[in-house]
Structure 1
Amino acid sequence: MNDANTNGRDTENSQPDLRDILGTSRSGRKKKSRRYLYAAAAVVLIGGGLGYYYQSRAAGVAYTYTTEAARQGDLSVIVTSTGSVQPTDQVDISSELSGTIRKVNVTYNSPVKSGDILAELDTNKLEADVQSARAKLASAKANVLKARADLGSAKTSMERLRSLVQSRVSSQQDLDAAQFNHDAAGATLQVNEATVLSAEADLRLAEVNLGKAKIVSPIDGVILTRSVDPGATVASSLNAPVLFTIAGDLRHMELQVSVDEADVGKVETGQTATFNVDAYPDRSFPAEIETVRFASETVSNVVTYKGILTVDNEELLLRPGMTATANIVVEEIKDTLLVPNSALRYTPPRESASRGGGLMSLFRPPRMGRSQNRDAGPAATGKRTVWVLRNNTPVSVSIETGSTDGQHTVVKSGELKADDLVITDASARNAG
């Protein structure tokens, strides 16, 4: 019996205590605390090591600055527009008559003078119409002569009967009949005279149509297009086909450009410009703004206004339809202080100490600073800050900016002087 009790106690003692398993016993709590202390010490050591690494790395970073000197100079504000070269005068020639082309006297690039015959229609029918109109006119004139004779005869008969009535030889009824015949003869004469006028008009119309059989040039110029050959039939209608296109004097042309609505307020009559065409990529041609039309043109929701520039083409290098890119000088500023636009976009590097972010900042390497509003562009005028390198140290300088050409900006006022080295960029390097 005693042996059985002894074995039971031994079995009880050999089983693990539940408090030891859960760590709620005194010895378990001590072990758990030691584990927490070890983990905290490891975190502190790792964080301290990383912090020392990055802080020493940041302290050992040096910067190489890219600079450009502010300078005195001239600045031109340019508005760029695209368009095409066109003749100052261009005329489409059609035929006012229907008929068959008998002869064509010109071809492409033929120089013509005002009144030169370009082509001729077959005139057989037109000449017959003229002869018919002349015959009708002659007949009408003959009828007038006959009517005048009839009127004279009727007048004589009426006067004779009037005297006979007075002497009571003839009756009043006979006199009334004679009066009627006289009035009718007068009316017939008026009708025939009107017929003569109508016949004369028909003759003039037939002669005009005969003259229109010769298609002539209305201006001095050159033939750009010819769309007809001898033997072709042309039909006169409201949409008559174009037979010839004539350009005026090509020594004086115009450049038609589309000015963006954002720039139209800057473009004025008399401003100078230069333009390039693909045919002569290494050459610029001068031009001058003649007018900017008030009517707008909208293509794909883009609103533009037609600008017309006069072009001197004495060398005849430019041809109608050539595409061109024009640079219009809308503002010129002479002898002013200029700063590069890249200097306006620059901000100095941000030190890691000023970045914030607590412990996480230790895991971020130093970053180079750039302008936070670089997308805003440097064109806006007003108070700005640039950084000047003095004694190898960046110094901020406040300035007031003005117009820009996209690369340089006018400095209207401020502490910046010519030849000051403004910082445009910076790059980090290891000081060690």
Structure 2
Amino acid sequence: MAKQKSSSKKTLYWVGGVLGLIIVIGLTLRFTGVIGQSETGKEVETSTAKLKTITQLVSASGKVQPEIEVVIRPDVSGEIIELAVKEGDFVREGDLMVRIKPDIYQAQIDNLNAVLLTQKARLEQTRAALILAKAAYERDKTLFEKDLISEMEYIQTKSEFDSQTASFKASEYQIQSAEAQLRQAKEELEQTVIRAPQNGTVTGLTVEEGERVLGNAQMAGTEMMRVSLLDRMEVLVEVNENDIVNVDFADTARIDVDAYPERRFTGIVTEIANSARVTGSGTNEQVTNYQVKVRIITPHNMDSSSDEMVRKETSEDPEEMFVPNFRPGMSATVDVETQTASNVVSVPIQAVTVRDFAKDESNEDEEADSADIVLASSQDSDLMIKEEDIRKVVFVVEEGKAVRREVETGISDNSHIQILSGLEAGEEVVIGSYRTLSNLLNDGDLVTVKSKISPLN
């Protein structure tokens, strides 16, 4: 009797252990998604394809700078004895800016005046000698024609006349040279006074009164200051070689300046460089960019004709009265609008993924021809490998299943991409999660919509 009870207990323990193990395995498979998936499907996020206007953008960063900026360098060297402006001053064309010590140039003019007077005196001496030589030549010519003097005497008189004529011309040329040197010296004296070449604001003043500056004689002179038109600003950006082909002259641009984070300004492309700027040449980090200038067409800074802010004083809206004050060197980001497609079918960018159709076909062939695997293994392995056939697809939710659709895409903006074919507006497409959409989701899989994101306007 005792043996029967002991055997029954062991049987109960053994059965209980097996049941417990089955329950643990079942729960594990359930939580890992191995079983039970057929009922609920894979959780996905969806959105609706819609008709939308898409504008393709090319983004780049750069600096704000004046569209017109004149660098002021002296033409003559010397000491600055008067500095009539300071940085930030507004000047008009012709206003006095800098005066360089003129003493040495005035002394040079005095010296050249004396040289010119000397040359003129020598010219008169040469003129007198020429008159005398000419009279002797005409006299001897008459005598020689009458055979009253020898030919040698006539030749000597003629040579003297020719020599005096040449000396007279040389004296005239020396006077012209002295006059040219004098004009140059006077111009250099005038260049000791530097005036504003245009209306604008003084920016980048780098000299002080009493400093010596180098003129533009044989090399670039000392940069003293710059005169800029601050009411005509632009953004200089560098666009990557992959994007520059999409940028055209006169393209509209959106400009964000770091100094005004809550405002956006309008610009237009005015210049596209033809030569590249290469950094990191010969290394793995080589970058090829092209400079693009974008004019800021939103009213800004000062009106140089009236020295007043360009404001719509009659407007009651503070936003309309606002005029930004841009300064050279401010950081800015530019989004150039390169292409626009109106009222086209579009989906969120993340909805479009890629699949290797050659791999899918290979899997189907393997299932259909499993009986021929042994024979195929004897063939050259290269013949068994098919080339990749990568295509763009979206997954459409139809009756609780994910249906794969091959699509052709067009341009895109920061959030949406244009669908040229393969999808209609109003269809529900899978947009996430990324792991599910890129790797796990297959054609025909059951899906459960975790959340549906409403399309933005």
Q: TM-score, normalization: structure 1?
A: 0.71
Counterpart pick for 1:238 among 184, 208, 219: 219
CA shift digits 1:73-100 (9 cap, x unpaired) = 2222222111112222222221221212
- Give the partner amino acid of 2:52: G
1:232-381 to structure 2, matched below 5 A, reads 232-236=211-215, 238-247=219-228, 249-300=229-280, 301-312=286-297, 314-316=299-301, 317-344=325-352
Distance in 2, matches of 1:56 and 1:320, equals 64
Q: What is the percentage of aligned positions where both structures have the same residue?
A: 24
Distance in 2, matches of 1:296 and 1:323, equals 22
When residues 227 and 344 of structure 1 are mapped into structure 2, their CA distance, relative to the original with a 3 A threshold, is: closer
SS in 1 for 2:275: strand
Distance in 1, matches of 2:397 and 2:74, equals 74
Equivalences, count = 356
1:158-173 to structure 2, matched below 5 A, reads 158-160=137-139
SS in 1 for 2:288: strand
1:72 aligns with 2:51: yes
Counterpart pick for 1:83 among 57, 62, 68: 62
When residues 231 and 62 of structure 1 are mapped into structure 2, their CA distance, relative to the original with a 3 A threshold, is: same
When residues 149 and 265 of structure 1 are mapped into structure 2, their CA distance, relative to the original with a 3 A threshold, is: same
Aligned counterpart, 2:89: 110
1:396 aligns with 2:403: yes
- Give the partner amino acid of 2:222: P
Distance in 2, matches of 1:160 and 1:66, equals 121
CA shift digits 1:186-212 (9 cap, x unpaired) = 233222222211111111111111111
CA shift digits 1:354-390 (9 cap, x unpaired) = xxxxxxxxxxxxxxxxxxxxxxxxxxx9541313264
1:218 aligns with 2:227: no
When residues 142 and 394 of structure 1 are mapped into structure 2, their CA distance, relative to the original with a 3 A threshold, is: same
Distance in 2, matches of 1:226 and 1:327, equals 33
Distance in 1, matches of 2:193 and 2:430, equals 75
When residues 140 and 420 of structure 1 are mapped into structure 2, their CA distance, relative to the original with a 3 A threshold, is: same
Distance in 2, matches of 1:178 and 1:262, equals 85
Q: Is the 8 A contact 2:136 2:157 kept in 1?
A: yes
Per-residue deviation at 1:152?
A: 1.4
CA shift digits 1:195-245 (9 cap, x unpaired) = 211111111111111111112333332211222222222233524221111
Deviates more, 1:415-424 or 1:150-159: 415-424
- Give the partner amino acid of 1:280: Y
Q: Is the 8 A contact 1:150 1:185 kept in 2?
A: yes
SS in 2 for 1:290: strand
Q: TM-score, normalization: structure 2?
A: 0.68
Per-residue deviation at 1:258?
A: 1.1
CA shift digits 1:153-182 (9 cap, x unpaired) = 233234445566778887777656544543
1:121-160 to structure 2, matched below 5 A, reads 121-160=100-139
SS in 1 for 2:209: coil
Distance in 1, matches of 2:45 and 2:214, equals 74
Per-residue deviation at 1:267?
A: 1.8
- Give the partner amino acid of 1:212: Q
The CA RMSD measured in Å over matched residues stands at 3.5
- Give the partner amino acid of 1:71: K
Distance in 1, matches of 2:423 and 2:139, equals 122
Distance in 2, matches of 1:266 and 1:323, equals 23
Structure 1 residues not aligned, in runs of 5+: 1-39, 348-380
SS in 2 for 1:192: helix
Distance in 2, matches of 1:164 and 1:416, equals 118
Larger radius of gyration: 1
Distance in 1, matches of 2:298 and 2:424, equals 46
Per-residue deviation at 1:345?
A: 5.5
